[in-house]
Amino acid sequence: MTDHHITDQDWADLVARRARPGVIGVTSTGLFCGFGCVARTPLRRNVRLFDSRETAVAAGLRACRRCGGQPKTDQPVA
């Protein structure tokens, strides 16, 4: 197993949809989201953390349609 389990803090940020750097990969769907995305909360065991969109893409994941895999910020993403 080469799973990178997320920390309790990571999980808390995800569940709270808190905007922060990094993206959330979901192995069950093959998608990744930025923190703050309103998509349905995945099962924790299916979640992997990545530093950036690029590393998530390199791992074979695709960007979520809702957030485009972009971390949510105070500035709306065009």
Binding site for Zn ion (CB under 5 A): 33, 37, 39, 64, 66-67
Closer residue to Zn ion (CB): 45 or 62: 62
Smallest distance, Zn ion to C-beta of residue 13, A = 14
- Alpha carbon distance 21, 35 (integer Å): 7
Exposed/middle/buried for 1, CB within 10 Å: 0-12, 13-18, 19+?
Answer: exposed
Smallest distance, Zn ion to C-beta of residue 17, A = 10
Smallest distance, Zn ion to C-beta of residue 66, A = 4
Contact status, residue 49 vs residue 25, Cβ threshold 8 Å: yes
